[in-house]
């Protein structure tokens, strides 16, 4: 039969492509320097000058495990970021901070267990109430709304795609940028914000998120030098076995990346800093056998960096979700070591 499906040729290319800058041994630091510079170019340019953060407080509320303040800050012109500052009750400043990122869902309101209108409490499935989870464990959280999700969904364009991230992704590509790179820049600006506060332990700033939040957690840890701990959930895998073989939204893709490096190489840019990777046993989007294959390669990088014991894989017993009970004990051990 004729081969009509375009994926057939693309799968052939995936199988026959050896990433040119994948880690094969030797000086880890020199390899990281070269790959990181290449990755920065591939995700698109960041502004040469940073605008004022223009932090505005919207409201503040007490919570049984701490206090929550909603703020808005400016990342770049015409790009304002809603966020929640979650301060734990059972800890003293300066706090360990986690930047928390939701994926493809209704937005950051899930991070603090309230509805989209921020009025009523809701039950959040899959341990995605990251802000609450942090406060329960004595960790402060800065929960960001990612571009094209939640309150930052497209509201100006008259005709939009059904999936909220698609339009922003395509527009960014036409401008020589990527939505992924813009989201990582928002994380770096969030760190700028934390640096202005006197309740921040600047040696204990981490990033975490699930699914699309796991995506940006991984890339932010690779590109943002001030991140000291990472906990990406339900994204770490091989590109070949995940976003190149199963349907995923366009915001997961970086033009020209696979011929350069595979996903464990990107995560390897974080070595020797500690990482706790979270996966689901039955996650159909990021298959566990490929996750384990990628983790084997990542451990090789961490071993060469003299930090193989700072690299962890936690596998939950279900699918595409976060696993707080499984992941946090390992995370807290690593955070205490920083």
Domains along the chain with CATH numbers: 21-337 (3.40.50.1820)
Interval 219-252: pLDDT, tens? 999 999 999 999 999 999 999 999 999 999 999 9
pLDDT 10s digits, 287-319: 999 999 999 999 999 999 999 999 999 999 999
**How far apart are alpha carbons 141 and 126 in whole angstroms?**
18
| Antiparallel, parallel or unpaired: β 56-63 and 66-76 | antiparallel
DSSP 52: P
In angstroms, how far is CA 45 from the centroid of its own chain? 18
Edge to edge, what strands does the sheet with 200-210 contain? 56-63, 66-76, 79-88, 140-144, 95-101, 200-210, 229-233, 275-280, 311-316
Q: Which two tokens stand for residue 85?
A: 């500052």
Beta bridge partners of 3: none
Nearest to 154 by CA among 164, 144, 145, 146: 164
Q: Is the pLDDT of residue 204 over 80?
A: yes
pLDDT tens-digit series, residues 248-274? 999 999 999 999 999 999 999 999 999
Q: Is 27 helix (H, G, I), strand (E, B) or coil?
A: coil
- Express each pLDDT in 88-142 by its tens digit: 999 999 999 999 999 999 999 999 999 999 999 999 999 999 999 999 999 999 9
Residue 187: per-residue pLDDT? 98
Residues present in the chain in total: 338
**How many Cβ atoms are within 10 Å of 304's Cβ, its own excluded?**
19
Task: Return the sign of the alpha-carbon dihedral for residues 177, 239, 335, 104.
Answer: positive
Q: How far apart are CA 31 and CA 25, in angstroms?
A: 9
């Amino acid at each position: 039969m004729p081969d009509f499906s375009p994926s057939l040729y693309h799968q052939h290319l995936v199988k026959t492509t050896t990433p040119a800058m994948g880690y094969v041994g030797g000086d880890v630091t020199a390899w990281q320097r070269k790959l990181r510079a290449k990755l920065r170019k591939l995700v698109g340019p960041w502004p040469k000058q940073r605008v004022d953060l223009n932090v505005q407080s919207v409201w503040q509320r007490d919570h049984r495990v701490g206090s929550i303040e909603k703020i808005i800050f400016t990342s770049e012109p015409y790009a304002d970021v809603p966020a929640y500052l979650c301060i734990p009750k059972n800890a003293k400043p300066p706090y360990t901070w986690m930047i928390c990122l939701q994926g493809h869902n209704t937005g950051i309101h899930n991070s603090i267990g309230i509805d989209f209108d921020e009025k009523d409490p809701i039950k959040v499935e899959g341990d995605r109430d990251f802000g609450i989870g942090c406060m329960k464990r004595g960790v402060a959280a800065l929960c960001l709304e990612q571009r094209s999700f939640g309150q930052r969904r497209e509201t100006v364009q008259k005709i939009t795609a059904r999936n909220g991230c698609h339009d922003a992704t395509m527009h960014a590509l036409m401008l020589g940028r990527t939505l992924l790179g813009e989201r990582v820049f928002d994380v770096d600006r969030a760190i700028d914000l934390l640096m202005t506060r006197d309740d921040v332990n600047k040696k204990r700033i981490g990033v975490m998120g699930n699914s699309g939040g796991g995506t940006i957690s991984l890339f932010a840890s690779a590109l943002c030098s001030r991140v000291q701990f990472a906990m990406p959930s339900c994204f770490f895998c091989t590109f070949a076995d995940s976003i190149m073989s199963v349907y995923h939204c366009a915001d997961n893709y970086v033009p020209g990346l696979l011929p350069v490096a595979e996903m464990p190489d990107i995560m390897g840019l974080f070595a020797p800093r500690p990482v706790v990777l979270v996966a689901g046993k039955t996650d159909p989007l990021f298959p566990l056998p490929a996750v384990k294959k990628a983790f084997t390669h990542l451990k090789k990088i961490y071993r060469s960096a003299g930090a193989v014991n700072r690299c962890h894989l936690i596998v939950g017993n279900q699918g595409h979700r976060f696993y707080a009970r499984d992941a946090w004990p390992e995370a807290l051990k690593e955070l205490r070591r920083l």
